[in-house]
Amino acid sequence: MASIGDNIRMARKQKGITQKVLGEMIGVSNTYLSDIEIGRTNPSIKTLKKIASGLEISYIELLKDTE
């Protein structure tokens, strides 16, 4: 089962951008993005929407197949 972090990582890599670039685009640190991607922390809905916007996808896509 994919986690939110797995979905973010996959979408980010498909776009060919680094955590640093995505972080700069949406105003969060690459360390925070890393923590989300590895499952150390979960993003707020507001942050999830920012991430989705930076990745140019719906935040719903980031929630798919997660429990």
pLDDT value for 24: 97
Please indicate, yes or no, if residue 67 is contained in any of the structural domains: no
Please indicate, yes or no, if residue 29 is contained in any of the structural domains: yes
Side chain identity at residue 10, one-letter code: M
Interval 10-26: pLDDT, tens: 999 999 999 999 999 99
7's CB contacts (< 8 A; 6+ apart) are: 61, 62, 63, 64, 65, 66
Long-range contacts of 26-31 (CB under 8 A, 24+ apart): 26/50, 26/51, 26/53, 26/54
Please indicate, yes or no, if residue 66 is contained in any of the structural domains: no
Q: What is the pTM of this model?
A: 0.91
pLDDT value for 2: 80
Question: Is-contact 62 48, C-beta < 8 A?
Answer: yes
- Label residue 5 by pLDDT band (50, 70, 90): very high
pLDDT value for 30: 96
Task: Extract the tokens encoding 33.
Answer: 């993005």
Please indicate, yes or no, if residue 20 is contained in any of the structural domains: yes
